[in-house]
Amino acid sequence: MFIKNTIAYKEINKIDMGLTWLTIEKSIKKETDWLKSNIFPFHSDKNPLNLPDDTFYRLIAILIVSGQVKTTEYFYDSSKIIGFNSVHSPNKEHGTEWHNNLINYLHDYFEKQGFEVYTSEPMLYYGQADLKVISEKVIYFEIDTVGIFKLWVNLKNMKNINIIILTSNKIIKFEL
């Protein structure tokens, strides 16, 4: 597994508080580009503000650059995870069956580890997640796609949680 912290989070730690507007905007742009290339929106998700997804990618990037949200990207090879390959094959089409099988796999995995797990579309501040795991922090999982507006609202309003987006070859963790 390969772990990469997002670009702007590293840069902010290197920069003192005398930040210029240009430095901040460059960091926001880098984070926005990273988010767009890694978080795939659920297109039928409508936001009540009727603003484009780009607006919310930028607002999430601002949360990251300001230090309110920490993100980590984990890369993995699903073929090396025992029992996972049959559910999470990159060659399989990502449809309802794939989605449900992956939720069931994660449910069984965390339950065997002794965690309390909820799979009946647990409630977030706004909307619902695919899976919820109670550990030291509450962890909400979104499988493959997520509404960008929903993600922003929850990152802005929830505290002391993790939101994890699981795709075919990576895990993106948002830590609050």
Q: Encode pLDDT of 74-131 as tens digits.
A: 998 766 665 655 555 555 555 777 788 888 889 999 999 999 999 888 999 999 999 9
As given in the structure block, the two tokens for residue 165 are 């987006």
E strand or H helix at 155, and its extent?
helix 148-157
Q: Return d(Cα 68, Cα 176) in angstroms, integer.
A: 7
The pLDDT of residue 96: 78
Q: Return d(Cα 8, Cα 14) in angstroms, integer.
A: 10
The pLDDT of residue 15: 47
The structure's pTM equals: 0.83
Question: For residue 151, what pLDDT band results from cuts at 50, 70 and 90?
Answer: very high
Q: Return d(Cα 99, Cα 94) in angstroms, integer.
A: 7
Q: Return d(Cα 174, Cα 31) in angstroms, integer.
A: 13
The pLDDT of residue 9: 47
Residue 172: name the closest of 139, 132, 149 by CA: 139
Distances (CA, A) of 16 to 5, 13, 41, 46, 75: 19, 8, 34, 39, 30
The pLDDT of residue 44: 61
- List, for residues 29-74, the tens digit of each pLDDT value: 999 999 999 887 776 667 888 899 999 999 999 999 999 999 999 9
